Amino acid sequence: MATSAKLGYTAIVSGGTGQVGRQLVGLLSTHPSFSHTYLVQRRPFPSALPSHIETILTPTGEPFHEAIGKVKLPTESSPKPTHAFCCLGTTRADAGSAEAFKNLDLDAVANFAKLAHTLGAHTFVLVSSTGANKDSYLLYPRTKGEAEEAVATTGFKRVVVCRPGLLVCERDKGRFFEDLAMKVAPYFKWVPGSQIETVDVAKAMIVLGLDETETAGAGRIVGNDEMIGMAKMEYKD
């Protein structure tokens, strides 16, 4: 793996139990540039973690999308986060309603961004989606676009938006249309921007987060094929 970044960064992650999030946590656990990682979770992480990765549970008794913005570091002497990685995301079908979908994919993302900025993070890397557009008439792309805008206007020094295509992975919980799409995905693997493995999204997120040549403003938007290229180039055996 190629890296020129200095040591000692601290990451804060939301969505760490999702398909991209799990890959990201695994990579961060062994990455030489990150000495500490916080996982902001609704419930304990489902597997054992090394000592330099801490789970911070959101306050109980209130909705997750509100509670995520009220998290505190374990102690006053805990290392402050430098980089925030957001992998939150669901579907309207899984959420149960349009309102519940927006609560997670927009409100929770926006509140996590505010939290990370308040705690000291200077870089925010967001997993969005191909076709995200805040002006769309469709719920999914409009919500993703609104989340991008919310993060971009939070005040970070650097914002990076990753827009993957179809996420190729093994899911614990089936999503009918995505499962069907993954079955036919191999027949379209040569179509640019059509699909990406979740581990490649996670790899690209770290590469982009550590690329200090990028500036702030609206942030950098990285598409599917560019992420694949970064993952293959930077993470070599």
Annotated active-site residue in 9, 38, 102, 144: 144
In sequence order, what are the beta bridge partners of 23?
A: none
Chain centroid, CA 45 distance in Å: 16
- H or E segment and range at residue 53: strand 53-57
Rounded to whole angstroms, how far apart are CA atoms 210 and 123? 9
Residue 80 annotated among the catalytic residues of the structure: no
Whether 227 contacts 133, CB under 8 Å = no
Annotated active-site residue in 140, 157, 183, 187: 140
- CB-CB neighbours of 192 under 10 Å: 9
Token look-up 């499962």 returns 179
Pairing verdict, β 166-168 and 195-197: parallel
Rounded to whole angstroms, how far apart are CA atoms 11 and 124? 10
Rounded to whole angstroms, how far apart are CA atoms 170 and 152? 31
Residue 144 annotated among the catalytic residues of the structure: yes
In sequence order, what are the beta bridge partners of 166?
A: 195
Catalytic machinery residues: 140, 144
